[in-house]
Amino acid sequence: MAKKIVECVPNFSEGRNQAVMDSIIAEIQSVPGITVLSSLADADHNRLDVSYLGEPEAVKQAAFLACKKAAELIDMEKHRGQHPRMGATDVIPFIPIQNVSMAECVQYANEVGKRIGDELRIPVYLYESAAKTPARTNLADVRRGEYEGIKAEFQTNPSRKPDYGPTRMHASAGFTAVGARMPLIAFNVNLATADVSIAKAIAKAVREKDGGLPHVKAMGFEIREKGIVQVSMNLVNYLETPIFKAFEAVKKEAEKHGVQITESEIVGMVPLQALVDTSAFYLKLESFTSDQVIEARLIE
C-alpha cells in the first residue's frame, strides 16, 4: 500500500526580513520526513509562500510549528503589504497528493486548526473544503476587511466567530485560515493571433463562472513580446476537470475563431495522476494506473 502523502502550502505575512523567513522555514524542515518543494518570498506583498510534502503526521506538526514561530516573530499591528492578509500565518491549506482523500485533509485542517486555537490562542477560520458554512468556503470572504477590518468587528460581529480558538483576539498574530483543497494546476495556452478579444472570448467560454467547465478559472491576456495572446487557466480540481479536457475545450473554441494553438505551459507543479490521466486519454489506455510508473514505486 502506497504511503499517504499530503502537501501543505502555508503563507506567512513576512516577505522582507530574511532572518524571520529562515526561522519559519527552519521549523518546517526540523520535522523528519518533510520535503520542502519551494519557498517564495515577495517583498511587495510582504509575504512568504512555502510548499512542502510529507506523511500526514509530519505535515501537521510542521504546519503547527511554523505557525507558532510566525506568531512569535511577526506583529500584524506593524505589517504592511500589497497582498490581502489577516494573520502572521495567513493561510494553511492541506492538499491530497497520494493515497489521501479530501475528507482526510479536512480532518487534518480540523486537528491543526484546533491545536493552533487551543495552544497558540490564535482564532482560526476553516475554509474551502474544510469550511463548516458556505460563507467560509471562499477564502476572500473569510479574509474580507483584512487584519484591520476583522479586528475592528471581531468582538461584535457574530459572523466573525472563529471555528477554533479564543473569542478574544491575539495581541499580534491576527487570524489564521486553515483549510483543505485540491492541488491547483496553472495551465496556459497560447494562440497564434494578436487579437486579445479572441483570448478573452475563449476564456469566458471555458471558465466555470460563465457556464464553461467546472473547476476552471480562466482569463485572456495579450503576450505583447511574442505578438500572441494567451488563455491563462487555473484548474482547481484536476480530477473533475482534467488538463486534457481544458486543452480540448480551448482548442475547440479556438477553431471556431479560426485560430491555432501554438503551445501551452504548465506553470509550477503538477500531480503525477494528471499525467497518467492525460496519457490514458490520448493513448486510449483502457486500464492504466500510477502504480505502473516505475518511479512511483520508490515512494510507496
Q: List residues with catalytic annotation.
A: 83
C-beta of 218: minimal distance to a copy of itself in Å? 16
Q: How far is the CB of 103 from a copy of itself (least distance, A)?
A: 20
Residues engaged in binding a copy of itself (CB under 8 A): 5, 7, 35, 37, 53, 97-98, 183, 243-244, 247, 261-266, 268-272, 274-276, 278-279, 282-288, 292-300
Pairing of strands 228-235, 5-8: unpaired
Comparing CB distances to a copy of itself, the nearer of 108 and 154 is 108
Of 287, 290, 250, 284, give the one whose Cα is nearest residue 271. Answer: 290
CA dist., res. 50 & res. 36, Å (int):
8
Smallest gap from Cβ 294 to a copy of itself, in A, equals: 5
70: nearest Cα among 172, 169, 217: 172
Q: What is the per-residue DSSP string for 183-196?
A: PPEEEEEEES-S-H
In the chain, the amino acid numbered 86 is M
Rounded Cα gap, residues 17 and 20, in angstroms? 6
d(CA 130, CA 139): 11
Query: What CA–CA distance (Å, rounded) separates 108 from 105?
Result: 5
Residue 66 CA to residue 278 CA, distance in Å, equals: 36
Q: For residues 162 and 114, what is the distance between their CA atoms, to the nearest angstrom? A: 10
User: Least distance from C-beta 213 to a copy of itself, angstroms?
Assistant: 15
Q: Are strands 47-54 and 35-42 parallel, antiparallel or unpaired?
A: antiparallel
Is the Cβ of residue 155 or residue 279 nearer to a copy of itself in the bound state?
279
Q: Which of 204, 251 has the CB closer to a copy of itself?
A: 251
Tell me phi and psi for residue 126, to 5 degrees.
-85, 135
Q: Collect all residues with Cβ–Cβ distance below 8 Å to 284 and sequence separation of at least 6.
A: none
Instruction: Quote the least distance from Cβ 93 to a copy of itself, whole Å.
Output: 14
Task: Pick between residue 9 and residue 109 the one whose CB is nearest to a copy of itself.
Answer: 9
Pull the grid cell for residue 22: 529562515
Minimal distance, residue 111 CB to a copy of itself, in Å: 23
The residue among 124 and 250 lying less far from a copy of itself, judged by its C-beta, is: 250
Nearer to a copy of itself, 28 or 53 (CB): 53
